Amino acid sequence: MSSFSFARSLRRALLIACALGALVFFSLALAAGEPHRFDDPSLAGRYQALTEELRCPKCENQNLASSNAPIAADMRDRISEWLNQGRSDEQIRQALVDRFGEYVLYKPRIESRTWLLWGLPGLAVLLGLVILGLLIIRARRERVSELDERERARLAELLEKHAPEALDEDDRQEPRS
């Protein structure tokens, strides 16, 4: 029985290994299907950064680097072409925004239309600080001031007079065991 289950788990392990191998093979094949070669390694880095920060217009939540949509492939081709022509990152971003709209920017620009988006976290922190400040000021104001010499003497006198009684009362309320 134990040799049977060993064979089964071995077979399962082999199957998983085959699946993983196939996955690696096909992802390599896919990556090789679309070569973007740059003579200058800094261009390759910029290409990678741009395709990772820009959004595919066809697919809502994929960047250009990870999308298989035909339009994303076209955009990657165009980006590498523009990089080789010596265009700056900002020029490339702008060229794509001019065609596909601000949708392609995962990080919206700061302008009148987006102030709420960018400003809200700051406003929330500011509001929190104001509330915290007000609470601290109120707590300070309510703190009991230190007793002076005369008040301390009066307190001792009062305790002397009334505390034993109070203690007796407390004793009476204590449950008997």
Partner 1 sequence: MRSRLLLFIPLILFVALAVFLWHGIGRDPAARTSALLSTPFPSFTLEDLDDPAVLHDQSLLDGQVSLVNVWGEWCPTCKQEMPQLLDLAERGVRIIGVDYKDTRDNAHAFLEQFGDPFTFNVFDPDGSLGFDLGVYGAPESFIVDANGVIRYHHTGYITPADVDRVIMPTIESLGP
Give me the least distance between CB of 72 and partner 1, in Å please.
9
Beta carbon nearer to partner 1, 76 or 151: 76
Tell me the Ramachandran region of residue 34: left when phi exceeds 0, alpha when psi lies from -120 to 50, beta otherwise.
Answer: beta
Give me the least distance between CB of 142 and partner 1, in Å please.
14
Beta carbon nearer to partner 1, 42 or 112: 112
In angstroms, what CA-CA distances link 146 with 3, 152, 154?
83, 10, 14
Beta carbon nearer to partner 1, 49 or 120: 120
- Taking the CB of residue 53, how many other CB atoms lie within 10 A of it? 16
Residue 160: burial class (beta carbons within 10 Å; 0-12, 13-18, 19+): exposed
- Tokens 């679309």 found at: 34
Beta carbon nearer to partner 1, 35 or 70: 70
Give me the least distance between CB of 132 and partner 1, in Å please.
15
Give me the least distance between CB of 103 and partner 1, in Å please.
5
- Tokens 């900002």 found at: 90
Positions in the binding site for partner 1 (CB under 8 A): 57-58, 60, 69-71, 74-75, 78, 97-103
